[in-house]
Amino acid sequence: MPDRPYVIDRMISAKEIAARIEALADEIHAEFAGCGKLVVVGLLRGSFVFIADLVRELDMNVEVDFIETSSYGNSTESSREVRIVKDLSSDIEGRDVLVVEDIVDTGHTLSHVLNLLHSRSPNKLKTIALLDKPSRREADICADWIGFEIPDEFVVGYGIDFAQRNRNLPYIGKVRFTGE
Ligand code: IMP
Ligand code: MG
């Protein structure tokens, strides 16, 4: 699959992403105003660019932590099995937590992670996803904040990969296979 030739069609520009993050940061700031220190939890690896830009727009005390789940492997199809590959370093009991995801697709990843984090009794647990593909949803879940709703397309860039490639694109593009 990753060896099939493809091109990337631009979908969301770096400028559009930056503007959306500024607006989202205002809403997050309002939600967590007064909380001592917000624990911002990025889901590795796809959220690493988003979380870096998001926390720099948050004018408050934040602690950054990461959790890694098993990924798609080298395919564009989701797996319903979610495994924790790397757990949090911090104890989140009684704390305010914001989970940062790149894309909510079937929703199994976010659902699994939220169940796990809920079981650790945080004070408040909220979620933000840069992209949402609602037409693909299987798990009954939605993020509290969404950057952009997108159609059922396989996308890359801004941290998001196709078989570990294209994470370093500054914009979001959709994968279009060629030469068929
Ligand atoms: P879910 O468990 O099906 O919601 O999938 C979530 C994860 O699948 C996301 O965090 C992404 O890492 C990955 N994923 C979903 N859609 C895409 C895509 O279009 N491109 C690259 N990765 C994707
Ligand atoms: Mg991911």
pLDDT tens, N- to C-terminus, the chain (180 residues): 567 899 999 999 999 999 999 999 999 999 998 878 999 999 999 999 999 999 999 999 999 999 999 855 545 565 677 889 999 999 999 999 999 999 999 999 999 999 999 999 999 999 999 999 999 999 999 999 999 999 999 999 999 999 999 999 999 999 999 976
> Can you give the three-state secondary structure of 87-107, one letter per residue?
CCCCCCCCCEEEEEEEEECCC
Alpha carbon of 102 to ligand 1 centroid (Å): 7
Cα–Cα distances in angstroms (integers) from residue 155 to residues 103, 132, 141, in the given order: 9, 11, 21
Alpha carbon of 101 to ligand 1 centroid (Å): 9
Return the ligand 1 atom nearest residue 112 CA: 2
Count of structural domains, the chain = 1
Residue 137 counted as domain residue = yes
Contact 144, 161 (CB under 8 A): no
Return the ligand 1 atom nearest residue 133 CA: 16
Residue 73 counted as domain residue = yes
Bridge partners (DSSP) of residue 145 are: 128
Q: What is the CATH number of the domain that holds 58?
A: 3.40.50.2020
d(CA 172, CA 166): 10
Ion ligand 2 — residues with CB < 5 Å: 46, 102
Q: Tell me if residue 105 is catalytic.
A: yes
Residue 158 counted as domain residue = no
φ, ψ at 174 (rounded to 5°): -105, 145
Residue 1 counted as domain residue = no
Residue 167 counted as domain residue = no
Residue 77 counted as domain residue = yes
pTM, 2 dp:
0.94
Contact 101, 133 (CB under 8 A): no
Contact partners, residue 84, CB within 8 Å, separation at least 6: 67, 68, 69, 116
> What's the domain range around 122?
13-152
Residue 166 counted as domain residue = no
Residue 57 counted as domain residue = yes
Torsion sign (Cα): 98, 100, 103, 107: negative
